[in-house]
A = this chain, B = another copy of it.
Amino acid sequence: MVVTLLASPLAADPLPSWNAGETRSAIIAFVDAVTDPTSDDYVTPSDRIAVFDNDGTLWAEQPVYFQLYFALDQVKKMDASSLNSDALKAAAAGDIEALLATGKDGILEVLAVAHTGMSVADFKATVDEWLAEATHPTTGKPYTAMVYQPMLELLSYLRDEDFATYIVSGGGIDFIRVLSEDAYNIPVNQVIGSSLISEYVADGDSPALMKKPDLFFNDDKAGKPVAINHHIGKRPIFAGGNSDGDFQMLEWTTSGDGPAFGLYVHHTDAEREWAYDREGHIGVLNRGLEEGGNRGWYFADMAQDWAVIWPEE
């Protein structure tokens, strides 16, 4: 009786920021099918695993990855006498163009300053401070305000239907873990990302995990299915991405025996966000556009499918 009084006969709209359309309908039909015990497509709750790219899928990534802004801001704190390379000087000046002109080695040098030589705990504290104060150069918003409201609703909808939601990002695992709980309601153990070697050092007063310069794992492209297996140990049934770096994750997810859903966020809205796909230095979506339709994947066309982009709208 109490249950009857509390339960609403019609569930509230789970995706209020999604416009009516093929993609929205397909998401809801998929979730209905895998959660309906009488459906042939029913999936037991412990196998309802959903994986999402972060940059360009859950939050914005233009004009450059936000983690690079973090690195620039750390270089800006350095003593001027330590800026002994063109890359460091460009970073300290906030001159992205000049930094990119120094090439991959220059970018890695800047990233190393911000990401190595300290403990994981100290790194996370630095990221936490930065997130609290830094603002995006174009929008002026805090970076954590540049998450996509429709994707927050999708994450929440999936969790309400007993999915476990994971981030599987080419960005840094230690970086994203600082914001995942507050920004996405995703616990840190459900964040998968790229990482540097870390070393356990116990020669001082208390042991620490120190961040070293060498790459441990590059969680991009074919690395994503590998990392999914390593961390989760099961094949997901829902994958969301926005670039060709996510292609293999969607491919792996939708190649299992049972039902599965592949979703590409397509950046089509130059007015409210950015419009880009086949070309550029970030978030290139080419093969995904070519093959996604034939593979049965759906596209969230930001201009068309999303009634709002940002949470505060």
Contact = CB atoms under 8 A, between A and B. Distances in A.
Contacts of A222: 199-200, 202
A252 interface: yes
Interface in A262-298: none
Given A207-B255, A255-B207, A233 B177 contact: yes
A18 to B, nearest CB: 29
Contact of A230 (B195, B229, B234): B195
A209 B229 contact: yes
A206 interface: yes
**Number of identical protomers:** 2
Nearest to A249: B200
Contacts of A198: 226, 229-230
Report the contact-size class of chain A (Cβ under 8 Å from the partner). 20 to 34
A198 B231 CA distance: 13
A255 B203 CA distance: 13
A96 interface: no
A184 to B, nearest CB: 14
A251 interface: yes
A102 interface: no
Given A189-B231, A234-B188, A199 B173 contact: no
Interface string A151-167: 00000000000001000
A225 interface: yes
A187 B191 CA distance: 17
A252 B207 contact: yes
Interface string A203-232: 000110100000010000011011001111
A198 B199 CA distance: 22
B189 A233 contact: yes
A210 B222 CA distance: 12
A122 to B, nearest CB: 13
Contact of A255 (B191, B206, B216): B206
A233 B199 CA distance: 15
A239 to B, nearest CB: 13
A297 to B, nearest CB: 15
A252 B187 CA distance: 21
A248 interface: yes
A251 B202 contact: yes
Identify which of A191, A198, A207 gathers the most chain B CB atoms within 10 Å of its CB.
A207
8 contacts: A177-B233, A188-B232, A198-B230, A200-B223, A200-B225, A200-B252, A202-B222, A209-B229
Nearest 10 Cβ contacts at the A-B interface: A188-B233, A200-B222, A200-B225, A189-B232, A206-B255, A177-B233, A207-B255, A209-B229, A198-B226, A189-B233
Interface of A: 46, 120, 164, 173, 177, 187-189, 191, 195, 198-200, 202, 206-207, 209, 216, 222-223, 225-226, 229-234, 248, 251-252, 255
Given A173-B233, A216-B230, 8 more contacts: A173-B230, A188-B233, A198-B229, A200-B248, A202-B222, A207-B225, A207-B255, A231-B231
